[in-house]
Amino acid sequence: MLELMGERGHVETRIAHVSLTRNLDVEGTRLTELARRASMSKQAMGELVDQCAELGLVDRVADPSDRRARIVMFTPAGRKWLDAFRDAVDIAEQEMRAELGKPTMDAILKGLVVYGAQFDTLDDLS
């Protein structure tokens, strides 16, 4: 994935950044929620946000529902990064399917869905 992102001009991408970007809603998400979704401390997520902000991928803006709070949002450059990441995922999946064959890849994807459902904490909101 990182190699594919680099080929598309996103050489700054690190695997740790995905812990932020995969948990960030397109309309924005509070830092505390990002940390909860990624199962990491607010401080660690804050560092990732700072890194991605320095890269121009995200920005912190006032939360319209509570002006004291801040939300993290993709910048226009961050949305382009997100599109490139989605394309890279598609390419990687096609490459895996070509290497492993359709039946094996289908089994892997089915297993990942089951695995993900067991550990999805987003539905556990009280």
Q: How far apart are CA 21 and CA 5, in angstroms?
A: 14
Which sign does the torsion angle of CA 42, 78, 8, 96 carry? positive
* The predicted structure's pLDDT at residue 6: 84
Query: What's the average pLDDT block by block, 10 residues per block, for the chain (126 residues)?
Result: 84 85 92 92 94 94 87 95 90 91 91 80 48
Which CATH number does the domain housing residue 75 bear?
A: 1.10.10.10
User: Domain range spanning residue 25?
Assistant: 2-124
Domain count along the chain: 1
